[in-house]
Amino acid sequence: MRKLSVWRVIKSGWQGFIRNYWLSTATVAVMVLALFMLGCLALFNVMTQAVVANLEGRVDVSVYFNQDTEEAKVLGVRQELVALSEVKSVDYVSQDEALKRFSERHKDNAVLMQSLQELDQNPLQPSLNIKANYASQYETIANYLNDERFKGMIDRVNYKQNKDLIERLTSLTGNIQTAGIVISLVLGLIAALVSFNTIRLTMYTWRDEISVMRLVGASNWFVRGPFVVEGVIYGVVSGVMALLLMYPMLYFVSPKITNFLPGVDLMYFYQANFWEFFFLLVAVGLLLGGTSSLIAIRRYLKD
Amino acid sequence: MAGPSGAGKSTIFKLLIGEEQPSRGKVFLDKQNIHLIRENELHHLRRKMGMVFQDFRLLSDRTVYENVAFAMEVAGSSNKEIVQDVPQILELVGLPDKLSAFPSQLSGGEKQRVAIARALIHRPSVILADEPTGNLDLLNTWDIVRLLLKINELGTTIVLATHDREVINNLSKRVVTLDKGRIIRDEENGRYIL
């Protein structure tokens, strides 16, 4: 009998959804927009992450060693640096490598090349190019390299010159991320409130029916159930529709963003994470629809 | 139950179904004080009473069949019972061919028959009818009154509230007359006198 009731409640909720298709369409339309916005916000955050990573990837710190430092010692330092959790990668540039890069870059400058040839030895220093995971970590790495035991071999660390740039970048990326989160929260809240109010209005149209159901002897649970089922259906249908709506949107927008920010392919990201998006939108829709109905119906159950 | 509008007929009904609390006195159904029933248990009481209203109060998005079946569904009746009883009761009220019509497709008299069928489906010991003929024309009024009489003869107590003098004078049943919230007369075979 319990199972029978559950089945009846679900059937009744489904019937309500189908039979009042006009009302359902209006409610679903609003929820689709809200969930669509949520999906866009998720992609927007992916984009800001990519921008931040892109900016941070352009910064590095170079350590220049004295010319007479043995290669083994430089590689030893490299080992140590790689072991640090802040360090993402360390590239070793030997004297020969540095010379090769230098001549490559200045091959059109005859004067420079000539003066280089007149020197009987390589004037360049071996160096390590360090990339940190986050821009804010360069300070720690630079401090690490200031240690007493490196004094003899390290000529200079170019952190000081880059310091200003790095600090500005750190605060910029921090701001971009904070702004992303704040915007997401505000718009997400608006989306939730709009959906909630729409469902509340839908339930408002049923207030007379609800009193009838009670008079006929339906328990509160039996009155509430179908409306919650209906709300859940609104949410799931809206979630799926918002998910599908993302495709044409990305089809047009994604190439433009890739032009603007090379390496950011939102369409690819969306397709690769399709199921994550599916669960995000459908689960949010389901929860939003279900709880909105539950809260909205509560008013009419108490006279 | 007779009396002009505002005499307190609907208030008495609200007291009978536990929707309002009496300031004094008690209401019993089958030896149970219905005002001691908790709010979330009231629906059990309502399944023992049938209710009919002036404005019919049918579920607008359900068919005639489903409106009557709903009352059985909420009480947990099996599908077999529902399939058996609903057409039977609709036959009794004279609507055997309107099972899949929606309320908006019915006349006032037909709607009221559906409401009576719904009230009857639990085989209640009492039916409360609050101005059931208030929205109906003369012909339909007598159809509904005759239907209620028939149900009464089959053994169900019917409390009929009305301000229709004709109806009361032709029934020759017990008449309780209310005025300004007080019972001013209670007689067997009464008439509508004010």
pLDDT at A121: 78
pLDDT(A204) > 90: no
Phi-psi region of B156 (alpha: psi -120 to 50; beta: other; left: phi over 0): beta
Q: What is the pLDDT of residues A230-246, one digit of tens each?
A: 999 999 999 999 999 99
How many CB contacts within 8 angstroms connect chain A with chain B? 54
pLDDT at A264: 81
φ/ψ of A257, rounded to 5, equals: -70, -35
Domain boundaries, chain B: 9-133+143-157
pLDDT at B112: 94
pLDDT at B192: 81
pLDDT band of B29, cuts 50, 70, 90: confident
Give the CA distances from residue B15 to residues A181, A207, B6, B25, B194, in Å, rounded to whole numbers and listed in that order.
55, 21, 15, 10, 24
Domains in chain A, start-ordered, CATH in brackets?
2-55+171-301 (no CATH), 59-161 (3.30.70.3040)
The strand pair at B157-161 and B126-130 is best described as parallel
Q: What is the pLDDT of residues A120-148, one digit of tens each?
A: 777 788 888 888 887 778 888 888 887 77
Lowest mean pLDDT among A4-13, A50-59, A265-274: A50-59
Highest mean pLDDT among A148-152, A203-207, B131-135: B131-135
- The H or E element that residue B109 is part of is helix B108-120
pLDDT(A1) > 60: no
Which of A20, A217, A222 shows the shortest C-beta gap to B61?
A: A20
Mean pLDDT for B107-129 is 93
Whether residue A169 contacts residue A137, with contact meaning beta carbons closer than 8 Å, is answered with no
pTM of the entire predicted model: 0.74
- Per-residue tokens: A62: 């170079």
pLDDT at B107: 93
Handedness of CA A224, A229, A230, A236 (dihedral sign): positive
**Average pLDDT across chain B, whole number:** 90
pLDDT at A303: 52
User: Does A209 sit within 8 Å of B70, measured CB to CB?
Assistant: no
- B9-133+143-157 CATH pick, 3.40.50.2300, 3.40.50.300, 2.40.50.100, 3.40.50.620: 3.40.50.300
The number of residues in chain A equals: 303
pLDDT(B90) > 90: yes
- Per-residue tokens: A19: 């039979």
- Least Cα separation, residue A53 to chain B (angstroms): 56
Q: How much of chain B exceeds pLDDT 90, in percent?
A: 50
pLDDT at A117: 80
Q: Is A14 on the interface with B (CB under 8 A)?
A: no
pLDDT band of A281, cuts 50, 70, 90: very high
pLDDT(A174) > 80: yes
Give the CA distances from residue A15 to residues A12, A25, A209, A227, B115, in Å, rounded to whole numbers and listed in that order.
5, 14, 14, 10, 21
User: Does B61 sit within 8 Å of A16, measured CB to CB?
Assistant: yes
User: Does B51 sit within 8 Å of A220, measured CB to CB?
Assistant: no
- Least Cα separation, residue B83 to chain A (angstroms): 15
Question: What ranges make up the beta strands (E) of chain B?
Answer: 28-29, 32-33, 49-53, 126-130, 157-161, 175-179, 182-187
pLDDT at A160: 67
- Least Cα separation, residue A222 to chain B (angstroms): 7
Q: What is the pLDDT of residues A45-58, one digit of tens each?
A: 888 888 777 777 77
Which of B19, B60, B74 shows the shortest C-beta gap to A219?
A: B74
pLDDT(A70) > 60: yes
Please give the single-letter amino acid code of residue A75. L
φ/ψ of B177, rounded to 5, equals: -105, 130
